Amino acid sequence: MPGMSVAIAAQRIPPRVLLLWSVAVAALTILLKTLAWWLTDSVGLLSDAMESLVNLASAAFALLMVAIAQRPADAEHPYGHHKAEYFSAGFEGLAIMVAAAGILWAAILRLLEPQPLQQVGIGLGLSVLSSAINGALAWTMLQSARQHRSMALEADARHLITDVWTSAGVVVGVALAAATDLLWLDPVVAIGVALNILREGVHLVWRSSQGLMDKALEPEVLAEVDRTLAQFRHRAIRFDHVSSRRSGSRRFVDLHMHMPAHWTLGRAAAVRASVEQALMSAVPGLRCTIQLLPMDVEAHFDDEEDLI
């Protein structure tokens, strides 16, 4: 099917290439939307152009963070640099909130002193064109973000989607203001835009903070881990103390595997290797650490002395 083949092709595009595209598209949409505002003198279209400025800054910062995240582990960062992507999402969220404050200020001033709109048709046409470009890029980036599990790419894509919806609301509001001569509609639309992107900014900052605090794996991924472990469970083998965390595109699982005390180290290690391989095959990007214990030995991590 053509749609499926396009989606597969999108997934194969590296995040870094898509972020370069995002920088270029942001520059183009800034030009188009700024021209639309200059032609119409609409504060609604001005708010749309200001959000595109945030798109440009965010895409450039995301590109830098993705480059850092792809660096190999070293002596100072033995677990890699994958969390750098969370800084990108947090920065983008803060930038969005700053843009929202600027839009609100401009909109309130225009609401107090309404101004007539000029050349609305051409201005709205430029806005629609820039939104179509942003929408196509956002869809492509989301496909790739799912494949590469890139927080930075997903954040940038979702910001672009917000920008598309913002532009749609601006086009409708400005068109109504021009058609009805209700000039207050233009700043009201801008205020709505500001509140919408403020909500998106708060959401991005929250997700970034959760990633930096080693949030557990997604429920569906944990369910896949449990299904994989179930294939090895029987009266001679059991698993406990399963814990997980996310770090950028990496996923980590730690657990204990109990075996009969009379098994040889070679036999126990062979079974552990099979379990590790099965888990990493079932969950892409997973890194698992399995501690071997005799069946009659328990590890206690909830004792008060362990929590000090």
For 254-287, what is each residue's pLDDT tens digit? 999 998 988 998 999 999 999 999 998 888 778 8
Q: Indicate where the chain has its CATH 3.30.70.1350 domain(s).
A: 219-307
Q: Report the distance separating Cα 192 and Cα 119, nearest Å.
A: 23
Q: Tell me: pLDDT of 2 over 50.
A: no
pLDDT for the residue 140: 84
For 212-229, what is each residue's pLDDT tens digit? 666 778 888 889 999 999
Q: Tell me: pLDDT of 159 over 50.
A: yes
Q: Tell me: pLDDT of 135 over 70.
A: yes
Q: Considering the domain 2-212, what is its CATH architecture?
A: Up-down Bundle (1.20)
Over residues 32-60, mean pLDDT? 79
164 pLDDT tier (thresholds 50, 70, 90): confident
| Sheet (strand 250-259) strand order | 238-247, 250-259, 286-294
Q: Report the distance separating Cα 153 and Cα 270, nearest Å.
A: 38
Q: Tell me: pLDDT of 85 over 70.
A: no
Q: Tell me: pLDDT of 116 over 50.
A: yes
Q: Indicate where the chain has its CATH 1.20.1510.10 domain(s).
A: 2-212
CB 32 within 8 A of CB 129: yes
pLDDT for the residue 227: 92
Over residues 134-159, mean pLDDT? 76
6 pLDDT tier (thresholds 50, 70, 90): very low
88 pLDDT tier (thresholds 50, 70, 90): low
Beta bridge partners of 291: 256
| pTM greater than 0.85 | no
| pLDDT-above-70 percentage for the chain | 83
CB 58 within 8 A of CB 95: yes
Q: Tell me: pLDDT of 211 over 70.
A: no
Q: Report the distance separating Cα 96 and Cα 66, nearest Å.
A: 20
pLDDT for the residue 305: 44
Q: Give the CATH fold of the 219-307 domain.
A: Alpha-Beta Plaits (3.30.70)
Q: In the 3-class helix/strand/coil scheme, how is the chain assigned residue by residue?
A: CHHHHHHHHHHCCCHHHHHHHHHHHHHHHHHHHHHHHHHHCCHHHHHHHHHHHHHHHHHHHHHHHHHHHCCCCCCCCCCCCCCHHHHHHHHHHHHHHHHHHHHHHHHHHHHHCCCCCCCHHHHHHHHHHHHHHHHHHHHHHHHHHHHHCCHHHHHHHHHHHHHHHHHHHHHHHHHHHHHHCCCCHHHHHHHHHHHHHHHHHHHHHHHHHHHHCCCCCCHHHHHHHHHHHHCCCECCEEEEEEEEEEECCEEEEEEEEEECCCCCHHHHHHHHHHHHHHHHHHCCCEEEEEEEEECCCCCCCCCHHHHC
pLDDT for the residue 22: 79
Q: Report the distance separating Cα 177 and Cα 246, nearest Å.
A: 47
Q: Report the distance separating Cα 119 and Cα 98, nearest Å.
A: 29
